[in-house]
Structure formats: structure tokens, C-alpha cells
Structure 1
Amino acid sequence: MTADPPGRATGKTASTADEPAPRRRRDATETRQLLLDAARHRFASDGYAATTVRDIADDAGVNVALINRYFASKEGLFEACLLAAGDELRRTTGTVPLDQVPESIARHIAGLGNAGFSAQLTLLLRSSGDARADEIRLGVLHHSSEQLAAARGWRPDQADSESVLLRAQMVLAAGIGIAVLRSSLRLQPLASAAEQDLVAPLRDLVDALLPPR
């Protein structure tokens, strides 16, 4: 049996053995999510005005032109981040059964104590210095408070609609305030309270401000 001549071995040749493996191509959904994740953290840490699309693209490891492809602009990307933050609030308060709203809020706040202050929640609280961005933020918060009120039986055509919505916004503000004191300022014993420690007081708060209708 004769040996294979150089360059014709059945394994890798010298010319290909050291070549890097081809990079896996990302699909549109994955790329869009990478941009959202990078933007959310940049906007939360640096603010809207100080963040550039180049920063976000570099953090995501993608071409900066893809921001315009998927979100049209920096403003469009910021709006998408805020809408995702609104989804987080809706999952906590607006899409759960009426009698489980206090437990849902407690579970979410307890989770923030373990994972740190949510970048999405930070986006809802931090002023951007941009009028359109702040308008979007207020819209997300307003819609979230409407969903919270609706979870307790509120309807916009009711006679006391505005007062009930006010109470829902107070519950929302209380929940966000608890999250800030717990996760950012680490106020004790609030910061180390377990989920079961939070449920009863939060149920009292929600039932007092938003009694089931």
C-alpha cells in the first residue's frame, strides 16, 4: 500500500486545518433580540441621549445598519424597548386572575431582589431628555395602570372611572417604589424579605386601594 501524496490525505489538508470554522448565520428574530437586549442595557445605564446606535450595534455584535432595518431608527428601537418593559408590567398585573394580582406583584418584586433592578423597569423610570421618548414612556405606564385597574373590574365607561384609575396608578407606583428600595437601595428588612413575607402586606395594599368590583 502506498502512502497518500501530500495534500491528498483523507483528513484535513495543511491549507484547511487552521482555518476558522464558518460563523453561524443569525436569523432575523435572533438579531432583533440581540439588538433589543443590548439597547435595553445601554439605555438603562447611559440614558437615551448619551447612547448611540453604534454603541448598541457593537454591544450586540451586529452591523449598525441592521438597527434601521429592524427598528427604523434609534427612537424606534427605544420605543420597542419600552414596549417590552410594558409587557413585563402586564405579565405582572394585567394578565393574571383577579384574586392573584397581589401574589403576582409580590412574586415579581421578590424576583427583582434576587436578580437586581430590572433594566426594563429602569427604562420606565429614567428620564430620557427626549420629548418623544418620554411620551412613549408615559403611554406605557398609563396603559399598564389601565390593565391593572381592569384586572380588578374597572371599565373606562364607569362613572367613577378616573378615581379607580388613580388608585391603580397608586398601586403601580407603590410596587415600583418597593422594587427601587429593595433592589437598588437595599433597604432592610425589605431587601431580604422573601416572597411569602411580601404577599400579605401587598394583598392588604391592593385590596385597600383597588377592592374587587
Structure 2
Amino acid sequence: MTAPAPRRGRRGAGHDTRALILAAARRRFAADGFDGATVRAIAADAGVDPAMINHHFGGKEPLFLAAVEAPFDPAQYVRSVRPADTEGLAARLLATLLPVWDSPAGAAAVGLFRSGLHRDWGVALLRQFIQRRALTPIVEHLPGNDAERAMRASLVASQIAGLILTRYVVKLEPIASMPHEQIVALIAPNLQRYLTGPLP
């Protein structure tokens, strides 16, 4: 006797629809990127009606944040520092983000960073998450062409990722215990140069 073939099509209400959607979304976002992954394709992969994505998550952007397991959305903090006002942007950015990183949400974000590097979909999703939710809201207001803004975004990411690594992961002293004001004073000038200074 042969085993019955798995049933295809949309799944019934007895299945964990939310978990199925999240698994499908991670695969799609990792493979196709945020812009390439459509709600319809994610729903088809999960075997659910596309309306279920809006029902459970409220749309594609909230689904992406849930798929990444983001403890907070950095875009809301980045936009609060007025990125369009480039003078003193680096200092405002660090002064806003440091209290978040020192909070329980920040600790969860560090855990996400660590675990994401060990998952098949993790690195691709983390890269998209950092680009879409943290870097783009900053650099989209900067002058220059797309290539220059992309260069500035990668330089900003290198500076901020290095700070997170040394202060919160490796906990290298004295930077691990420095007050926020001192970190801003030491790091903001270089970060500001990445944001608005001349690039060789």
C-alpha cells in the first residue's frame, strides 16, 4: 500500500496559520528580498488565503518585522532624529539609539543578531532589515547619487555595528562602561564624516 498524497491547497483553520505564514515569509524574503517577495506568493507557499496575512500581521511590512523577530523597529527611532537635518545628525542618532540598545529591547536585538548569523535565512533577512529599517531612513535624505548614498550607508553600518559588537557583545572596556555622552563625543565626529563629509 502507498501512503496517501499530501493534501494541497489552502489549509484549514486547524493548522497554525501564523507559523506557516512566518516560515513561508522567511523563505521568500531571504530568496527574493522584500520588494521581490509578494503577499500572494508568500500566501501560496504557506497554503493560505492572502487575506490571512493581513488578518494575522496587518500587511507586508509588519510581516517582515515579525519574520525577522525584531524586538523593535529602528526606523521609528531613526526618523525621530530628523535625518533631513544633516547638521549634528550623527550625535543625535547616537544619543537616541544608545538608550534603546541599553534597554531590554536592545539586549533582545543583540540576541537576534547573534542567532540570525546561524540560521539559513538569518543573514539575508538581517541584511535586508538593517538596510530597510535602519539605514535607508537615514541616507535617503543625504545629497548625492544612489551609489554615494549606498557607500555612506555601508560606512555608517560598519561604525554602528562595531560599536554594538564592542560594547554589547564582546563588552570591551572601557567602551562597555562609558556613559552615553562620552561615546557620542568620541564616535559622532567620525560617524558624521561618513554621513556628510567628503569621501575619498
TM bin (shorter chain):
0.5 to 0.7
Matched, 1:197 2:197: no
Q: CA RMSD in A?
A: 3.4
The separation in 1 between residues aligned to 2:159 and 2:178, in whole angstroms, is 16
Query: Which residue of the other structure, out of 121, 126, 138, is the alignment partner of 1:148?
Result: 138
How many residues of Structure 1 are paired with residues of Structure 2 in the alignment? Answer: 142
> C-alpha deviations, 1:61-95, integer Å up to 9, x for none?
xxxx999333434525865152635x533234344
Q: Which has the larger radius of gyration?
A: 1
In structure 1, what is the equivalent of residue 94 of structure 2? 105
Gaps of 5+ in 2: 1-12, 27-63
**Letter of the aligned partner of 2:68 in structure 1?**
L
Q: Answer yes or no: is the 8 Å Cα contact 1:183–1:191 preserved in 2.
A: yes
In structure 1, what is the equivalent of residue 7 of structure 2? none
The separation in 1 between residues aligned to 2:15 and 2:179, in whole angstroms, is 40
Gaps of 5+ in 1: 1-64
Matches within 5 A, 1:91-170: 91-98=76-83, 99-113=88-102, 115=104, 118-125=107-114, 126-130=116-120, 132-143=121-132, 144-151=134-141, 153-154=142-143, 158=144, 160-170=145-155
Query: Which residue of the other structure, out of 9, 20, 24, is the alignment partner of 1:72?
Result: 20
The separation in 2 between residues aligned to 1:118 and 1:81, in whole angstroms, is 18
Alpha-carbon distance, 1:116 to partner:
8.7
Q: Answer yes or no: is the 8 Å Cα contact 1:181–1:191 preserved in 2.
A: yes
- After superposition, the Cα gap between the structure-2 partners of 1:84 and 1:113, relative to the gap in structure 1 and judged at 3 Å, is closer
Tell me which stretches of 4 or more aligned residues in structure 1 moved more than 4 Å: 76-79, 113-117
Matched, 1:88 2:73: yes
- Worse overlay, 202-211 or 95-104: 95-104
